[in-house]
Structure 1
Amino acid sequence: MFDNLSVIVTGGGAGIGRAAGLKFAGQGARVVIADIDATGAESAVREIEAAGGVAVAVIGDLSDQQVVDRVVATAVEQFGGIDVLANVAGVMDAMTATADVTDAEWERVIRINLTAPFLLSRAVLPHMLAKGKGAIVNTASQAALRGSAAGTAYTVSKHGIVGLTKSLAVMYRAQGIRTNAVAPGATRTAITSGLTIEGHGPGALRPYMAGMGRVSEADEQAAAIVFLASDAASNINGVVLPVDNGWAAV
């Protein structure tokens, strides 16, 4: 389905990103695994190569423009362009309520969850525009659809991802570029929140968590990402797809 296409997956060293990178490679894509964790990224590349796929790792902080430029240059130089960008990398907050959010928490969460996907999207667009086609898949969250699934910084960052997704979809649909997002519910990954259970944020959110349902596997989220990037979703653009076993319906 993705034979010889060039795909960038951020956060590809672990969790949903790693699962997505493996799925893209398993369907013929040549994959750039971008992650701040060198050990995880290089391990993902080895796993892809062991299965007969093609991948390369780029290590660094994706909110740094120089790292973004290196990711994009690697895809272009080694794989001939960029067909798909999957913005998966992200961090959780500590479920902190607004009055308790520190500058450091705010800046870290917004920088990684929102600024990095923006920088990457901006950087790949010229290459997709030159081809007259492309697909961007962002990772939102249940926190993008409600105010009761995370703390302030994370919730704001994921609402921002929805805005980025829809803006890209509207502005570039005539040029053949589709942008969609998945909105995962609770998923079994290595992401940690630094949650302090006694804080006001967790206390305020606890009554709303009962409808969350079962915890999904990273592969289930990755399957939705790969679908949205594929030609099977050729007329899907600007969608935020909950992958949450019905939590968004509760």
Structure 2
Amino acid sequence: MNGKLQGKFAVVTGAGSGMGRAISARFAVEGATVAALDVNSEAAQETADIIESHGGQAISVRVDVSDAASVTRAAQLVTSRFERVDILANNAGVLDSYAPLLETSEELWDHVLNVDLKSLFLVTKALLPTMIDRGGGVVVNTSSIAGFVAGGGGIAYTSAKHGVIGFTKQLTADYGRKGIRANAICPGAVETEMTQSLFESGDAAVMESVRAVPAGRYAQPEEIANLALFLANDESAFVHGAAYLIDGGWTVR
């Protein structure tokens, strides 16, 4: 049987671990050829190897999504290897350890905003022209519950993730009629390598917020990947500019 993304070409940033690896694998299972992008070249290659070991097709590309020159090089490599780009999943991100304003250095602020928000500007701008030229495509951006409410991160992370939702909506307004369909995923607590140390730190505020989730557990990366798949395929063809909470009920409180 053909998968839901059969014949599609997908680019996933932050593909070396966690949600990015799960999204890459899910896309590949459904028939997409995947470009796994990550700042950690070994992790990106491991994702590509996993996909190919299960019969899929993938390439790995090292990229610093916060650096314009690095993004340009990566985009050129992808477009030289792929016939086109049908799907872009902007997933790369970093945390700020729930740092409030007075504990946030300018260096931390810049790092989080550059990776979590500026990267969408750089990567999408680099790949959007080829998507439009080939008739359109899908952009799936990873935001967070911190894009809706306070308490899902610190001042830098929350600011960046609010920005991701704004970026997604404006991208829709500007390019929806040119065939670009953009939406955002907004996870709550997800059990990944990046969050493991935070959840295991024993910080009272962090642990209390997670314990209060109605679902009673963290999300698994594969559950986030399932939502990414829905937004990437034609089943969601009329979904434009939306921000989907997938948080186990965290934000109902």
- Report the TM-score when normalising by structure 1: 0.92
Aligned CA distance change for structure 1 residues 215 and 192 (closer, same or farther; 3 Å): closer
Structure 1 residue matching 2:212: 3-state secondary structure: helix
Counterpart mapping for 1:31-180 below 5 A: 31-180=34-183
Aligned-partner Cα distance in 1 for 2:206–2:57: 43
Q: Which amino acid aligns with 2:240?
A: N
Q: What runs of 5+ residues in structure 2 fail to find an aligned partner?
A: none
Q: How much does 1:203 deviate?
A: 7.1
Q: Which amino acid aligns with 2:237?
A: S
Q: Paired residue for 1:228?
A: 231
Structure 2 residue matching 1:22: 3-state secondary structure: helix
Q: How much does 1:74 deviate?
A: 2.3
Q: Which amino acid aligns with 1:81?
A: R
Q: How much does 1:47 deviate?
A: 0.8
Aligned-partner Cα distance in 2 for 1:95–1:139: 18
Aligned CA distance change for structure 1 residues 49 and 193 (closer, same or farther; 3 Å): closer
Alignment identity in percent? 35
1:200-221, CA deviations, whole angstroms, 9 ceiling, x for partnerless residues?
xx77777655533410100000
Aligned-partner Cα distance in 1 for 2:208–2:33: 44
Q: CA-atom RMSD, angstroms? A: 2.1
Q: Is the 8 A contact 1:93 1:194 kept in 2?
A: no
Q: Which amino acid aligns with 1:19?
A: A
Structure 1 residue matching 2:194: 3-state secondary structure: coil
Q: Is the 8 A contact 1:137 1:229 kept in 2?
A: yes
Q: How much does 1:194 deviate?
A: 7.5
Q: Which amino acid aligns with 1:8?
A: V
Q: Paired residue for 1:182?
A: 185
Aligned-partner Cα distance in 2 for 1:52–1:209: 37
- Report the TM-score when normalising by structure 2: 0.91
Aligned CA distance change for structure 1 residues 218 and 143 (closer, same or farther; 3 Å): same
Question: Which contiguous aligned blocks of 4+ residues in structure 1 show a shift greater than 3 angstroms?
Answer: 192-195, 202-210
Q: Is the 8 A contact 1:9 1:86 kept in 2?
A: yes
Q: Which amino acid aligns with 1:244?
A: D
Counterpart mapping for 1:190-209 below 5 A: 190-192=193-195
Q: How much does 1:119 deviate?
A: 0.7
2:28 to 15, 19, 25: 25
Count of residue pairs brought into register by the alignment: 247
